[in-house]
Amino acid sequence: MALLMRLADNLAYGIETLRTKAKHDRLREELVRKNNELLTQFRIIRALLHTWDLDERVNLILDEAMGFADVELGWIYLVEGDHIVMRAWRGISDDLRVHIMSFHLDEAPDRLTLPQVIHERIDEEGMLEEFEKWEGIQTLVSIPLTVMRSGGEIEWLGTLVLASRWYEAVDRRDIRALQALSEQLALAIDHVRRFRKAEERLTRLTTLRDIDRAIISRRSIRDIVHTVLDNVPGKLGADAVALSMFNGDERRMQLFAMRLPNGTIVEEEVFSLADSLLHWFVDRQEPVIIYDLTRDPRLQMHRDLIRDNRLSSYLGVPLVVQDKTVGVLHLLTTQPKLFSTEDVDFFRTLAGQVAIALENARLFQVVSEEARLNSALLRLEMALSEATGVRNVCERTAELIPQLFSVNCFIFLWDGVRGKLIPTGTPSDLPELPYEKHKGFADVICKRETVMIEDITDLPCGDKMARSIDARSIVLVPLIMGNELLGVTCVCCSEPGGFSKGDVETIEGEARRICQAIVRERARERAQLQLSRLELLSRIVRSILELHDLESILRTMLGYLEESFGVDYGCVLLYDELGDRVELKTISSKTLPIAEKLGFEEGQLFHAEATGLRSALRGKVAHLPDLTTLDDECYRRFSQAGRGSMLIVPM
């Protein structure tokens, strides 16, 4: 009996010892787990104190949480605006990330808003999605990160998600520890986000102040554009910045400049906007956000530019002045970014400042241009009033109109007798073309209306003219007084489509003044011509009275006529009615050398049937404007000697 008692005591002692040892093992294990939890908290807190960068903190939290739970997959979502976006991830494939990268808050899965633990084998049907099973996930834990605001309101900041390809991964104690850590993690994220928002607000205010100071003294649109590009910081989500302005029809970019991520300024159109984007900017006047430029066709950017500069996301904000869209401010990032409401509001404010500055600069340029234009118009008016002679009017016009528009100007006078346009007061390098038959000129002559040609190289012979006068676009304005066509004013620009509607109206106004000056000078020239002819008649009469032989009278008269009319050949023909012939009676002294070269001499007889002679013998003046078109032998001689026209006057 005593032996049994001792045996029972030893057995009880052994059982108690085993219980004590098991209890000690559990305590030791719990202490190790608690120690690991505290070490994880310590490492997280120590690291958090060393950085205020949100991305660094999020990545640190994810690494420590995955190490504590001993899992190989994990990611963290953060609420950004009206989306929840994956901010950091480890171990997951690109295919899975595409499916779970971001969600609209209204469409977020329940597992992101509520804590969940899922253990599900690959061949089971349950809560895991197919694309998650393709990744091999059998365990998934989601822990929402929330903070309590004043008044007891709970704000959802994001969600920590841990996953493993092992079915037995992450036990309940790990989950409880992670849930206990979640409040500290949420506070760490909240603190840095608040700090970052405060820092961003300060940066935004500083940026607005600096840009406002910089552009308030600028008077050039180009200077304002470059100031904006230089002063928008990349840390506000603008790794690349561009600014475009529309022309009058609000559908075509007029000015374009872009700052690339490396700081290079590009002054050319590097992307175009689809009509759907223009609708948002021009009609709705709303910002446009594109998360992935490589997959969105609305922003038709050169692919080399996207690839070389790693451009990813886009925010476009319209520049609106007096309810009219005058341009667009473009912001682009090198990393995928969902622009927050605060980001959009800031850039809308900035766009408003830029729009006002651009409009002020535009108005200043308009006033300056009007002043310059009025000054040039005044100089042209004075030049036209002081010009003497039609040629001088044309020369002064061709000289001064370029000062109005920085273009070239050519004046063509209309020869109604020959039906030709004659360049007058223009450079000698103007190509010799039948302008009256040229497209554009022919329309002006026919319709008596202004014609504007956007690109003359599209017309026949246009390339030759474009090279000769250094022009691509031209405005042709008829010079008309009453029903009479006086000529054509041709104003040329070296750029296609270089004239606005206002430019054309100004040119038309000056064309009317040129017409008045030409008519005035022609009237004055006719008056002077009449006076000179009266003086010529007086001299001829005096000569007739002073001279007594017919030969001397005729030679003197021919000399006066040659001097007065500027001709280089003059002679007198007498009609022999019996023989129906004409005799070359007298050749002027000036004409004698020319007549000898042509084979003409005094006393020579000609048939009266020659073109023009018969009309003169009937008492009518015969005007032969182009001798090259006549078959008579004598006229061919004159033509070959360089004489182009002839006038036969009956006596």
More confident residue, 404 or 128: 128
Assess whether pLDDT exceeds 80 at residue 221.
Answer: no
Are residues 641 and 593 part of one domain?
yes
pLDDT confidence of residue 77: 94
Residue type (1 letter), 401: I
Task: Kindly tell me if the per-residue pLDDT of 225 is higher than 60.
Answer: yes
**Residues 66/162, Cβ–Cβ less than 8 Å:** yes
- Any domain includes 473: yes
At CB < 8 A and 24+ separation, what contacts does 58-64 make? 58/87, 58/88, 58/189, 59/88, 61/160, 61/185, 61/188, 61/189, 62/88, 62/89, 62/90, 62/160, 63/90, 64/40
Instruction: Give the burial class of 27: count Cβ atoms within 10 A of its Cβ; 0-12 exposed, 13-18 middle, 19 or more buried.
Output: exposed
What per-residue confidence (pLDDT) applies to 120? 92
Percentage of residues in the chain with pLDDT exceeding 70? Answer: 84
Residue 50: the pLDDT is 65
The torsion angles phi and psi of 210, rounded to 5 degrees, stand at -65, -45
Comparing 144 with 399, the larger pLDDT belongs to: 144
Same-domain pairing of 235 and 349: yes
pLDDT digits (tens, 9 = 90+) for 540-575: 788 777 777 777 888 888 877 777 777 778 888 888
Indicate if the pLDDT at residue 248 is higher than 70: no
Those residues whose C-beta lies under 8 Å from the C-beta of residue 144, and which sit 6 or more positions away, are 112, 113, 114, 115, 156, 158, 159, 182
Lowest mean pLDDT of 82-96, 266-280, 282-296, 614-628, name the range.
Answer: 266-280
Domain final residue, candidates 365, 398, 427: 365
From 333, 365, 397, give the residue that closes a domain: 365
Distance from first CA to last CA of the chain, Å, rounded?
182
Q: State mean pLDDT over 312-338.
A: 86
In this prediction, residue 100 carries a pLDDT of 92
| 354 and 403 inside one domain | no
Task: Give pLDDT, residue 56.
Answer: 83
Task: Indicate if 236 and 356 belong to the same structural domain.
Answer: yes
Q: What is the pLDDT of residues 452-500, one digit of tens each?
A: 888 877 777 667 666 766 778 888 888 888 888 888 888 888 788 878 8
Q: How far is CA 425 from CA 12, 390, 391, 437, 572, in A?
A: 131, 9, 6, 21, 36
Does 77 fall in a domain? no
pLDDT tens for 499-521 read 888 888 888 888 888 888 888 88
399-457 tens-digit pLDDT: 777 766 667 788 888 888 778 888 876 655 666 777 788 778 888 888 888 888 888 77
Q: Could you tell me if 99 and 134 are in contact, meaning their C-beta atoms sit under 8 angstroms apart? A: no
- pLDDT tens for 368-388 read 777 766 776 677 677 667 777
Domain of 248? Answer: 217-365
CA separation for the pair 588, 571 (Å, rounded): 6
Q: Which of 272-276, 339-343, 632-636 has the lowest mean pLDDT?
A: 272-276
| Average pLDDT for 252-258 | 72
- Give the helix, strand, coil percentages of the chain, each rounded to 5: 50, 20, 25
Beta-strand (E) ranges in 380-458? 408-415, 420-424, 451-453
Q: What integer pLDDT is reported at residue 291 of this predicted model?
A: 82
Q: How far apart are CA 114 and CA 528, in angstroms?
A: 105
The pLDDT of residue 522: 80
The pLDDT value given to residue 311: 79
Most confident of 27-36, 157-166, 587-596: 157-166
Looking at the structure, tell me whether residues 517 and 445 fall in a common domain.
yes
Same domain, 247 and 350: yes
Nearest to 508 by CA among 485, 484, 476: 476
Burial zone of 633 (CB within 10 Å; 0-12 exposed, 13-18 middle, 19+ buried): exposed
Q: Is the pLDDT at 361 greater than 70, yes or no?
A: yes
Has residue 155 been placed in a domain?
no
Q: Look at residue 405 in the predicted model and tell me its pLDDT.
A: 66
Assigned domain for 81 exists: no
Domain endpoint, select from 306, 334, 365: 365
**637 within domain boundaries:** yes
pTM for the complete prediction? Answer: 0.48
> What DSSP string runs through 244-306?
EEE-TTSSSEEEEEEE-TTS-EE-S--EEE-HHHHIIIIII---EEES-GGG-TTEEE-HHHH
Contact criterion met (CB below 8 Å) for 617 and 650: yes
**pLDDT attached to residue 144:** 92
Cβ atoms of 257 and 265 closer than 8 Å: yes
Answer yes or no: do 322 and 254 share one domain.
yes
Of the candidate ranges 120-129, 148-157, 318-327, 534-543, the one whose mean pLDDT is the lowest: 534-543
Long-range contacts of 27-36 (CB under 8 A, 24+ apart): 33/173, 33/177, 36/68
Residues 407, 343 share a domain:
no
Total domains in the fold of the chain: 4
311-to-262, 404, 452 alpha-carbon distances in Å: 12, 44, 42
- With CA atoms as reference, report the closest residue to 476 among 464, 485, 488: 488
What is the Cα–Cα distance from 409 to 186, expressed in whole angstroms? 74
For residues 415 and 297, membership in a common domain is answered with: no
pLDDT mean across residues, the chain: 80
Residues 626-649 have pLDDT tens digits of 888 888 888 888 888 778 888 888
If one counts every other C-beta atom within 10 angstroms of the C-beta of residue 637, the result is: 15
Q: How confident is the model at residue 299 (pLDDT cuts 50, 70, 90)?
A: low
Are 245 and 334 in the same domain? yes
Give tens-digit pLDDT for 58-116.
888 888 888 878 899 999 999 987 889 999 999 999 889 988 999 989 889 988 999 99
Which candidate, 244, 249, 398, 224, places its Cα nearest to that of 329? 244
- Flag whether 372 is in a domain: no
Residue closest to 206 by CA, chosen among 411, 395, 346, 409: 346
312 closest CA partner among 289, 287, 343, 346? 289
- For the residues 175-199, what does the mean pLDDT come to? 79
Residue 305 covered by a domain: yes
pLDDT at 250 over 60: no
Nearest-10 crossing angle of helices 221-231, 172-216: 150
Q: Where does the pLDDT of residue 307 fall: very low under 50, low under 70, confident under 90, or very high at 90 and above?
A: low
**Phi/psi of residue 298, nearest 5 degrees:** -70, -30
My answer on whether 361 and 394 are in the same domain is no
| DSSP symbol at 149 | P
Task: Give yes or no: residues 232 and 321 share one domain.
Answer: yes
Q: Judge whether residue 306 has pLDDT over 60.
A: no
Helix (H) or strand (E) holding 516: helix 501-546
In CATH, what number is assigned to the domain containing residue 312?
Answer: 3.30.450.40
Name the amino acid, one letter, at 13. Answer: Y
Does a structural domain hold residue 135? no
As a whole number, mean pLDDT of residues 292-312 equals 68
294: Cα within 13 Å, side-chain hemisphere? 12
Residue 25 confidence (pLDDT) above 70: no
